[in-house]
């Protein structure tokens, strides 16, 4: 009997998790309700830079170039990150899907919690909120701001969970939900990276939470990242527009 129940549980658990490819944010509207926690990836999913300098592809290119010289991923990211933060303080962003902001706002007005879910590090939080504000968007504050007791100190800040490039999205989400005692009936996650969707799927299953991953492949809509232009723009953009705020307060997550 116990074996039968175990098999039944395993079969039923496989039914409430799926990952499917979509073409727009409109898919969120048809699947979310007040008991759903909606997670929205930022770079190359919700928005992208309006310039080659500061674009997510510029960041990825810089990391790959550094690793090609023999640096570890952690060394490459650590070395490049001050340039990334500086860029985010200066550059502007635009929605990739023109309907994205409208969809997110409509969900929040219906009482659906929607949070930003990004591999960006906490050190770029202020710049990220500036960019979101320029799009007339603020995410749902499902918890007060806090720093998680986890590797590389991911942070939930004003509705955005800053995971850190070296952390796994699914693992950090699980840590956040456990520490804050948040137990949604379903997680709905939209991201341009399928591997991130699979990571969160694994964590959702382990927590017994229904899960739908929406894979929205990055669509440049004809725009093309230009390495030479990025080099030129980095050299020409104002260099005094960024100050390192080493006094930004941290708030420890508590139960």
Task: Write out the residue range of the structural domain in which residue 122 sits.
Answer: 17-48+95-218+227-236
% pLDDT > 90, the chain: 81
Query: Which pair of tokens denotes residue 146?
Result: 């806090």
Residue 121 inside a domain? The answer is yes
The alpha carbon of 80 is separated from its chain's Cα centroid by a whole number of angstroms, namely 19
| pTM for the full predicted model | 0.88
Residue 77 inside a domain? The answer is no
Q: What mean pLDDT, rounded, does the chain reach? A: 89
Specify the higher pLDDT residue, 56 or 15: 56
Q: pLDDT for 209-233, tens place per residue?
A: 999 999 999 987 777 889 999 999 9
Q: What is the DSSP string of 160-198?
A: EEE--TTS-HHHHHHHHHHHHT---SEEEEEES-HHHHH
Q: CA distances (Å), 100 to each of 35, 94, 120, 137, in order?
A: 21, 11, 20, 10
Query: If phi over 0 gives left and psi between -120 and 50 gives alpha, with beta otherwise, what is residue 152?
Result: left
Residue 75 inside a domain? The answer is no
- Give the pLDDT band of residue 239 (cuts 50, 70, 90): low
Q: What sign has the CA pseudo-torsion 176, 178, 181, 183?
A: positive
Query: Which pair of tokens denotes residue 139?
Result: 């995410």
| pLDDT above 90 (res 251) | no
pLDDT at 16: 81
Residue given tokens 């990220």 in the structure block? 128
Residue given tokens 């499902």 in the structure block? 142
Residue 59 inside a domain? The answer is no
Q: pLDDT for 126-152, tens place per residue?
A: 999 999 999 999 999 998 899 999 999
Cite the DSSP H helix spans in 14-72: 26-29, 56-68
Residue 164 inside a domain? The answer is yes
**Would you state the torsion angle of the CA atoms of residues 131, 135, 140, 144, taken in this order, to the nearest 10 degrees?**
30
Residue 103 inside a domain? The answer is yes
Distance CA 174, CA 105 (A): 25
Q: pLDDT for 2-31, tens place per residue?
A: 443 343 344 444 548 999 999 999 999 988
Residue 198 inside a domain? The answer is yes
Residue 42 inside a domain? The answer is yes
% pLDDT > 70, the chain: 87
Q: pLDDT for 166-179, tens place per residue?
A: 999 999 999 999 99
Number of domains in the chain: 1
Nearest alpha-carbon partner for 63 in 46, 79, 49: 79
In the β-sheet with 210-215, what is the strand arrangement from edge to edge?
A: 17-21, 210-215, 186-191, 36-40, 114-118, 160-162, 155-157, 146-147
- Can you give the CATH number for the domain in which 126 is found? 3.40.50.1000
Q: CA distances (Å), 168 to each of 53, 119, 150, 152, 162, in order?
A: 26, 9, 11, 11, 11
pLDDT at 221: 75
pLDDT at 252: 57
């Amino acid at each position: 009997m116990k074996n039968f129940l175990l098999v039944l549980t395993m079969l039923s658990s496989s039914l409430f998790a799926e990952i499917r490819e979509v073409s727009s944010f409109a898919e969120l509207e048809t699947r979310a309700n007040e008991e759903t926690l909606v997670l929205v990836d930022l770079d190359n999913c919700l928005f992208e830079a309006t310039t080659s300098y500061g674009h997510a592809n510029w960041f990825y290119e810089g990391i790959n170039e550094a690793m090609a010289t023999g640096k570890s991923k952690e060394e490459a990211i650590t070395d490049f990150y001050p340039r990334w933060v500086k860029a985010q303080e200066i550059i502007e962003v635009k929605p990739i899907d023109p309907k994205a902001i409208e969809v997110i706002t409509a969900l929040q007005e219906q009482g659906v919690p929607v949070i930003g879910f990004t591999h960006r590090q906490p050190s770029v939080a202020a710049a990220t909120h500036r960019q979101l504000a320029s799009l007339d968007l603020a995410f749902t504050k499902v918890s007060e701001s806090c720093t998680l007791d986890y590797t590389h100190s991911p942070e939930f800040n004003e509705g955005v969970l800053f995971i850190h490039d070296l952390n796994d999205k699914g693992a950090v989400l699980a840590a956040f939900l456990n520490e804050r005692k948040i137990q949604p009936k379903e997680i709905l996650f939209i991201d341009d990276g399928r591997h991130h969707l699979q990571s969160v799927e694994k964590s959702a299953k382990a927590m017994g939470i229904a899960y739908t991953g929406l894979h929205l492949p990055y669509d440049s809509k004809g725009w093309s990242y230009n390495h030479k232009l990025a080099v030129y723009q980095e050299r020409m953009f104002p260099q005094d527009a960024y100050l390192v705020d080493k006094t930004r307060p941290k708030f420890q997550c508590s139960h």
